Structure 1
Amino acid sequence: MKFRSLTRSHTGRVVLAAVPVAVVSSLLMAGVANGAVPVSFAVSGSQFQISASQLDGTGFSQYAGVAPDTAGKDHQVAIANIKSATLADLCQSVVTDTPMGKVGLLITAGGGGSPASASDLQIGMTDLKGDSTFGNIRIGVDASTVNTAAKGGVGDFAQDADTVKIANLQQTAWSTQASVFTLTGMHVQLTDGSKGCF
């Protein structure tokens, strides 16, 4: 069964170099990357924040794409793939407007020297900040030839690397999926929407 990504590559789009980050998600589904559980879904109407004091990953690629929502609108994203990652002091936050006002959800994990871990990630992101180091990076490769299982469209701009390290990471994203996500010391809390990861 063929792996289906939550975002689509977008022919002709060129994205500036960026790096991936694993994010906390309710889609903690084993077998996605092996095709056992095909994934295709519409994103919500809210982007979310992710931060980590340190990300260490292997098997990285990135290319342009879109994340569709339930209204049929495509959101332009940088599709980032990472084979395996550990994340120290991981945080995810999202704010939603409700009839009772703004409601926030704040999730933390991977603190106290026991980082969270994830494998076979794909993220549809719009912004990223941090201090990054790449091992054996290739910039400007054809997106259909990147060194990860998930690939982009023929002729599209892409980059890949054997390893990636990001310190003081801050990211905004529309979507993510992972085959396995281990959240050590997870804490989920509702907020009034005034508190985020950054």
Structure 2
Amino acid sequence: MKSQVRGGTRWKRFAVVMVPSVAATAAIGVGLAQGALAASFSISGQEFKVSTDSLVGEEFVQYGSVAQGSTLEGKPFAAPVAVSGFDNARITNMCQSVVTPVPGLGDITLRLTAGDSDAAKAGNTDKQVYAEELYLDVSDLKADAQFTNIDIGVAAGALPKKEGGQGIQPGVDPRSVNKNGFAQRADKVTLTKVRQKAWATTAATFRLPDLSLSLHRGTDKECFKG
């Protein structure tokens, strides 16, 4: 039975892990090894970290899936993920980092920041990061969250509330998502104090005001520790 909570719902220190069953993940891993699955998006063998002061998204959906790719050594693997989708989202003070081991140099951290100006933090939407048709393949998420008109326990295949509404990410291998599996949706979500680990991000539009990209030796410049 679908669980419904109407109006504004605030979840302190929101932490989500919604993934397919271990058996399903193992089956997809076998399929990759045998070349049976043609992944539409092959992920890298590295998780990356994202932190933000706030993310305000409309037409939020979330469901379990499996991201597929290869390790840095070239070995195929599959990672269970919670896919978070938004029709559009505005992000304040975004940081993204990934650590790569480089022979002879050690760990190198690539750090990207955007939407971190005083104007963005004061609410100037032109200076905030903006994305449309945003999907995140998340392995770990910690934040404070407030939802508007949330439905918990929706079948993943029934996520869109209207014709053309937000649902399962278009173009993904249909075998990576169980359309009868657990999912949730909300008209709007506000996440603050976000600390996220993810395998992939896709968006139809991604605007990054005040973009800065830098490389650093070691891991001191990761967006957050842990």
TM range (shorter): 0.7 to 0.9
Q: Distance in 1 between matches of 2:155 and 2:167?
A: 14
* Structure number with bigger Rg: 2
Report what 2:100 is aligned to.
Answer: 96
1:123 corresponds, among 112, 130, 136, to: 136
Deviation at 1:176, TM superposition (A): 1.1
**1:134-155 alpha-carbon deviations (Å, 9 max, x no partner):** 0110000111001214265322
Q: Post-superposition, which runs of at least 4 consecutive aligned residues in structure 1 deviate over 2 A? A: 9-13, 149-154
Structure 2 gap segments, 5+ residues each: 1-17, 23-38, 121-126, 161-165, 170-176
TM-score by length of 1: 0.78
Instruction: Check the 8 A contact 2:20/2:80 in 1, yes or no.
Output: no
1:174 corresponds to which letter in structure 2?
A: W
| Distance in 1 (alpha carbons) for counterparts of 2:186 and 2:218 | 36
Q: How does 1:1-198 map to 2 (within 5 A)?
A: 40-70=40-70, 71-99=75-103, 100-112=105-117, 113=120, 114-147=127-160, 148-150=166-168, 152-194=177-219, 195-198=221-224
Q: Deviations over 1:87-136 (max 9, x none)?
A: 00000000011112111100000012221100101111111111100011
Q: Give the TM-score of the pair, scaled to structure 2.
A: 0.69
Pairs aligned (count): 165
* Higher helix proportion (structure 1 or 2): 2
Alpha-carbon RMSD across the aligned residues, in angstroms, is: 1.8
Aligned equivalents of 2:92, 2:65: Cα separation in 1: 28
Partner-residue secondary structure (3-state), 1:95: strand
Any idea what the Cα deviations from partners look like across 1:164-186, whole Å, max 9, x if unmatched?
00111110001111111000000
